[in-house]
A and B are shown apart, each in its own frame.
Chain A
Amino acid sequence: MSELVLQADALRKSYRMGASRLEVLKSVSLTLQRGEVCALVGSSGSGKSTLLNLLGLLDRPDSGRLWIGGKEVQGVSNAAAARLRAARIGFVFQQFQLLPELNALENVLMPRRLASGNWWRRRNAEREAARSALQRVGLAQRLTHKPNQLSGGEQQRVAIARALVCGPQVLLADEPTGNIDCRNGDEVLSLLLHLSREQGAAVLLATHDPKVAQQCDRILTMRDGLLVSSELTQA
């Protein structure tokens, strides 16, 4: 029996543009099952990133309801939202968003540290988990390298390891291959999908690339702030 890990109901979001308001999301509803990999496609400005931000609790909708792991999260405090992100949500960004002062291992370790809270205790287990996550993305030899010493593809692998190190229920990826070359992009995408499926995380992956979308279980299409279609693929 499938398990619902994310549910959004009638999410709306608008931004003030001078005297007027620009409605970016117009009542978007969707669900994600455990282990399901969904592609979110649409042209630029269709509202993909805004939707990911709302689902990842990085931003607040004007209206609508949202459940993560069966718990309604609408209206939770900033601190509670942060704890939910640490425990249940992983992010992979187009710009990688690694912390440049930390090496690969420390970058991957960071979400574990933030989730655990007990920073003063020795956390060999956490360090081991981070090391293992980097091994799984093929960077066992790059643990102590800083982001500026890594290629784009390697940086995105670190970002994937960081997103999955806490075992999230939901993984939100915004154009994860948008900033790397084709060959590396394919490898990164395969890795992302493989590891997510292995961990049973639900994935929502925003992309422009139809080839990427075809590798997912379902394709959600957005246009002008509306979710206009939801199609199953052959993947």
Chain B
Amino acid sequence: MTLATLGIAYFRRRPLLIFSAVAIALGVAVLFSVLAVMNGFLAELQTSIRTISGDAAVDISRSRGGEFRPLEAYEKTLADVDGVDHLDPQLNWYGLIGRRGSAAVSDPRSTDLSGLLLIGVDTGFEDSEVESDAGGRPILPMRLGVGAAERLDLEVGDLLGVITFVEGSGAGSRERSKAPQLLQMSCRLVETIKTGRYDQDLDRAVFPRQALAEFLSSTAGFNELLIRTTPGADPVQVAADIERAMQLAGFTHPGYPTTFSWRDRGGNLLRAVENQRGMLSIVFFFIVLVAAYQLVATLTLTVTEKRRDISVLRALGATPRRVIRFFVSLGLLISLIGISLGLLLGQWLVQNLTTVEKWVGGGQPIFRAEIYKFDHIPVSVDPGSVVVLVGATLLVAMVFSLIPAWRASRVKVIDGLRSR
């Protein structure tokens, strides 16, 4: 360990080598934090897409001939598809919701009306009942995204109006012969829901499916099937298998897909985030490269200063390869110290991101929910990313250290021994 002792002594006595380690630490910490945020953003985005849209979904409105079959027909068709755990029928429609209901149509003000997705589901309303107004018309219980509730200045218990149009004989029908009908109903806000996704909490209202179907005169009562897959099943594969089963059953046209995996639903947003993560990793890795460059400069300076020591080592029997190994090891030691400090600093940054965000933004949040979709900064430390980060930094440090190490191995022993 004598050579290691010498390397550590060089490191301790030379502040510039310590600065190199600090520079590497800063680069690693920044990259660690950026990767944690991007991974967290991606993970929460994926989770929210799967929660809201299912692991896969069958769009019934795209099925053959626009014909709605009973739910049992779909359940029977998909029963033998591997990976399908269960189906959740859902009725999706659109409408305007406002405190003043239909009266707002003739006097619309932005704070009165909001265009929302009306979603009929089978769960979540077990404790709510459909009330009736004085005229005997139903008042549907409604759960509203917290963003929409704030925008309309609503509180739980408020009575609201819903306006929508349906074509033909009812919601989702392909029958175009009849003129569009204006529908209106009352509903009561029974709960605000928070998915964590700003955009999702701003644009959806959830109702009991059967009640919504009656309001919309929807005969089928659903126009989308959310598929939950069994643990370990690949949703993309399951979606493909469902599509095949649907075609065999004559429910769909070949080349006209109706089944989509959660990745299809996430589509461009997911790919954009994944691309952004890759691009940011490359950009921020340049900080590590600059730190590694500083390491080269400092090691080169050390080689120049320590020519006499190198010559003594060579005179005592160190081979040129041994000298190279010594300086590469010194570079790796410095980068290991830098990486360790960087990981600790990065972990601290990730754990205190909200504080850091306020500090950097002068008290104002930098990650605004309306832009970044989430009302908090999602973080997730991916061990795989950390391993790649550490490996890449070590590799760069090793390759860069080879330059001064090679110079050290070429020092002329006689000249070095004469130097002071």
Instruction: Report how far A97 CA is from B309 CA in the complex, Å.
Output: 8
Is A99 in contact with B317, judged by CB distance below 8 angstroms? no
Is the CB–CB distance between A82 and B10 below 8 Å? no
CB contacts (< 8 Å) of B414 on chain A: these are 53, 58-59
Do residues A102 and B9 form an inter-chain contact, with CB atoms below 8 A? yes
Encode contact with B along A103-135: 1 for CB under 8 Å, 0 otherwise. 000100111011100010000000000000000
Query: Contact: B6 with A82, CB < 8 Å?
Result: no
- CB-CB contacts of B233-263 with A at 8 A, as 1s and 0s? 0000000000000000000000000000000
Kindly provide the distance from the CB of B418 to the nearest chain A CB, expressed in whole angstroms: 9
Docked CA distance A119–B312 (Å): 18
From B1, B309, B316, give the contact of A85 (CB < 8 A).
B316
The stretch from A86-94, A189-197, A205-213 touching chain B is A86-94
Q: Which residue of B lies closest to A89 (CB)?
A: B317
A110 touches B417 (CB 8 A): no
The answer, yes or no, to whether B13 is at the interface (CB within 8 Å) is yes
Interface: A101 (CB within 8 A): yes
**CA distance in complex: A71, B308 (Å):** 29
Contact indicator B2/A87 (Cβ below 8 Å): no
Residue B204 lies at the interface, judged by CB distance under 8 Å to chain A: no
- CB contact between A58 and one of B4, B13, B315 (< 8 Å): that residue: B315
Residues from chain B with a CB closer than 8 A to the CB of A87 are 317
Q: Which of B289-333 contact A (CB under 8 A)?
A: 308-309, 312-322
Residue contact B2 to A102, C-beta cutoff 8 Å: yes
Q: How far is the CA of A113 from the CA of B318 in the complex (A)?
A: 9
The interface bits of chain A over 182-222 (1 if a CB of B lies within 8 angstroms of the residue's CB, else 0) are 00000000000000000000000000000000000000000
Is the CB–CB distance between B315 and A101 below 8 Å?
Answer: no
Instruction: Say yes or no: is B413 at the interface (Cβ < 8 Å to chain A).
Output: yes
Contact between A101 and B2, CB atoms less than 8 A apart: no
Interface centre among B1, B13, B313, B414 (most CB of A within 10 A): B1
Report Cα–Cα, A91/B9, bound state, in Å: 24
**A150 to B235 Cα, complex, angstroms:** 75
| Also in contact, A114 and B6, with CB within 8 A (given A79-B321, A99-B309, A119-B1) | no
Q: Which residue of B lies closest to A103 (CB)?
A: B5
CB-based nearest B residue for A174: B417
- A85, B317: Cβ atoms closer than 8 Å: yes
Across-interface contacts of B313 in A (CB, < 8 A): 99, 110, 114
Identify which of A86, A97, A109 contacts B308 (C-beta below 8 A): A97
Find out whether the CB atom of B308 lies under 8 angstroms from the CB atom of A101: no
Q: Which residue of B lies closest to A123 (CB)?
A: B1
CA gap between A82 and B134 in the complex, in Å: 104
Whether the pair A115, B317 counts as a contact (CB closer than 8 A) is yes
Chain A contacts for B321, CB-based, 8 A: 79
Cβ contacts under 8 Å, A114 to chain B: 313, 316-318, 322
Q: How far is the CA of A115 from the CA of B322 in the complex (A)?
A: 11
A136 interface residue (CB < 8 Å to B): no
Q: Apart from A56-B315, A78-B320, A114-B313, what 7 extra A-B contacts exist at CB < 8 Å?
A: A86-B317, A97-B417, A99-B312, A101-B309, A106-B5, A110-B3, A162-B316
